[in-house]
Structure 1
Amino acid sequence: MTNRVLPSEEQGRQSRRRVVSARDVATRRLGLVLATPALIYIVVFLAFPLIYNLYLSVTDASGANLISGNLSFNNFENYGVVLSDPAFWNAALLSLIFTVACLVLQYILGFALALYFRHPFLGNGPIRALLLVGWILPPVVTGTIFRWLFDTDYGLVNFVLQSLGIIDQPVQWLTQGTTAMFAVIVANLWVGIPFNMLLILSGLHLIDDVLYEAASVDGASRWRQFWSITFPLMAPVSISVLLLGVINTYKVFDLIYTMTRGGPVDATTTLPIYTYLETFSFFEFGTGAAASALTLLLPLALSYFYVKSLNEEEK
């Protein structure tokens, strides 16, 4: 015996479907209206500059013809000029050194500080707030502070080292190649360590203390607990921290430019500095745009993997 659906019941179902469909359409329209300001911002301040930069990278744009608008396509010649320029590869190497050094040190030190601040103690909050000052300050201010700290004649670093008898003569921190790179790395660590500490600390608070209590009962040492419990459970957070660290460190410009202007010679000319100098010092806007486009490849790739890791973590 088959169940018959009365015409009135079928009409009721269709009516409910129409109501639900109308609600979905209204919700989508409302979402689109609310997202319109963000979409306008993305188009005006992100998409248009990126597209215009790509356009300039395939033209003969320079200081002479950019204003007049007499631009012509040069069949990707700018990319060949940039890729054949030894200064570009030197800047890429310096960016690699700067990024890897900052990434490793700020992750290790940030993790250590997060472990230290995980357990409450007197003054925990104020000390953490003071550490976050380095991350909150504008990079130009941070660069200016460290430029004076590492000043050869009046810097606090040389004064302390000489007072302790570690050095006899003042070190020319910002006028020598190796020491200049060391100085900008230290300055960037002051910015990056609090950021790493904050993200890792939020992840540590999600680990249940019952796991550590059970490990202590089984006789596991603190070191063993770290490698068997803390570090494996912090893997998703660590991946996000490292990806964000690469993106944020790789694109550092204002801090380095404030401290050294990319010098001495080319000792701290990373890829963002190289792009800036090529564009606004030599007025080669075409090659500068090509260098900028090549510089964007790594952040875009890492951003893709970062978003992908977030989606997998949510799933």
Structure 2
Amino acid sequence: MANVRSPLLYFFLAAPVCYLMAFIGFPIVYNVVMSFQEVNLGNIVDFLRPFVGLDNYRTVIADPSFQRVFINSLLFVVVNVVAQVSIGLAVAIFFSQRFPGAHYLRGLLLASWMLPALVVGALWKWLFATEYGVVNHVLSTMGFIGSPIHWLSDPSVALTSVTIANIWFGMPFSMILIAAALTSVQHEHYEAATLDGAGAFARFRYITLPAIMPALLAVACLVTIYTMRAFDLIFAMTQGGPLDASNVLPLLSYQFSFQQFQFGIGSAIGSFSFVIVFAVALLYVRTLKKEAIG
């Protein structure tokens, strides 16, 4: 019986491997190869192109715009990870309580995450509009501001604007994963702690948090990966402007490749993003292994 199933087993294993190699592995390798070549509109269709070694990487690192965008990306990722995991944890704990309509409200919240990123970007661009935006209208009505804030055209607040929008967009994903982890916590532990006189904060600190810590780390890794890939939402809101104030690495790679037609430099920037995402992905896999063993 084992001999009959072996060829079928290899077939089902070969199918996803071939898919990954064709649609994920090849683009990654092709991008890395391009980062070591001089690629422009004149030779992009050629099989052999001039080899420039690490020149593209040196050009990228020396470029002031890359340095600013790299810092923007780090800030964007760190704030998103902290906010999405923290808010997602708070919302997951809230919806873990039993009250009428909890499941429907949680599903409604998750529906916002299912929207296309371009749609979400267009929505928040309208909300943050200077003259007719809802955010400025609400803040002005409540007396917090005396004049409209230029959320998307002021370099000092543009990154904050796209960060707020991305947190709103990604938080439901963190919430649903953390909510699933909360279901694994034994209620008997809470009951015993309550009988011993432990308050809500003590139960959270000594029971809930240790139990779901591996899940929180895994969620943080996933949020980091997804945030490093952020493109559509920022492109719809600010296109990285003004003056690269809200620009991030994926968008900068696009700009060099498809606006300035410096495909080698764009590929080098993409390689920086890939290295960061790959390192976080390895951490995520290691976290899952530890969680499975534990």
Q: Mark yes or no: TM-score above 0.5.
A: yes
Whether 1:159 aligns to 2:137 is: yes
CA distance in 1 between partners of 2:211 and 2:24 (Å)? 36
SS at match of 1:231: helix
Q: What is the CA deviation profile of residues 221-252 of structure 1, one whole-angstrom value per residue up to 9, with x for unaligned ones? A: 11111111111111111111111111111211
Task: Kindly indicate whether the alpha-carbon contact (under 8 Å) linking 2:56 and 2:265 is maintained by their aligned counterparts in 1.
Answer: yes
Shift of 1:76: 2.2
CA distance in 2 between partners of 1:29 and 1:268 (Å)? 52
Match in the other structure for 2:287: 309
Specify the code of the residue in structure 2 equivalent to 1:260.
T
Q: What is the CA deviation profile of residues 16-37 of structure 1, one whole-angstrom value per residue up to 9, with x for unaligned ones? A: xxxxxxx444433212212333
Which residues in structure 2 correspond to 1:53-72 (within 5 Å)?
Answer: 53-69=31-47, 71-72=49-50
The percentage of counterpart residues that share the same residue type is 36
CA distance in 1 between partners of 2:72 and 2:46 (Å)? 36
Which residues in structure 2 correspond to 1:17-32 (within 5 Å)?
Answer: 23-32=1-10
Which residues in structure 2 correspond to 1:1-315 (within 5 Å)?
Answer: 23-69=1-47, 71-315=49-293
Q: Which runs of 5+ in 1 are unaligned?
A: 1-22
Shift of 1:70: 5.6
**What TM-score do the two structures reach when normalised by structure 1?**
0.90
**What TM-score do the two structures reach when normalised by structure 2?**
0.96
Larger radius of gyration: 1
Q: What is the CA deviation profile of residues 176-234 of structure 1, one whole-angstrom value per residue up to 9, with x for unaligned ones? A: 11221111111111112111110111111111111011001111111111111111111
**Larger displacement relative to structure 2 (278-287 or 164-173):** 164-173
Task: Kindly indicate whether the alpha-carbon contact (under 8 Å) linking 2:228 and 2:273 is maintained by their aligned counterparts in 1.
Answer: no
Shift of 1:47: 1.1
4+ residue segments displaced more than 4 Å: none
**Larger displacement relative to structure 2 (243-252 or 59-68):** 59-68
Shift in CA distance, 224/90, structure 1 to aligned 2, threshold 3 Å: same
Matched residue count: 293
CA distance in 1 between partners of 2:56 and 2:121 (Å)? 32
CA distance in 2 between partners of 1:181 and 1:69 (Å)? 40
CA distance in 2 between partners of 1:58 and 1:235 (Å)? 41
Shift of 1:311: 1.7
SS at match of 1:178: coil
Shift of 1:129: 1.3
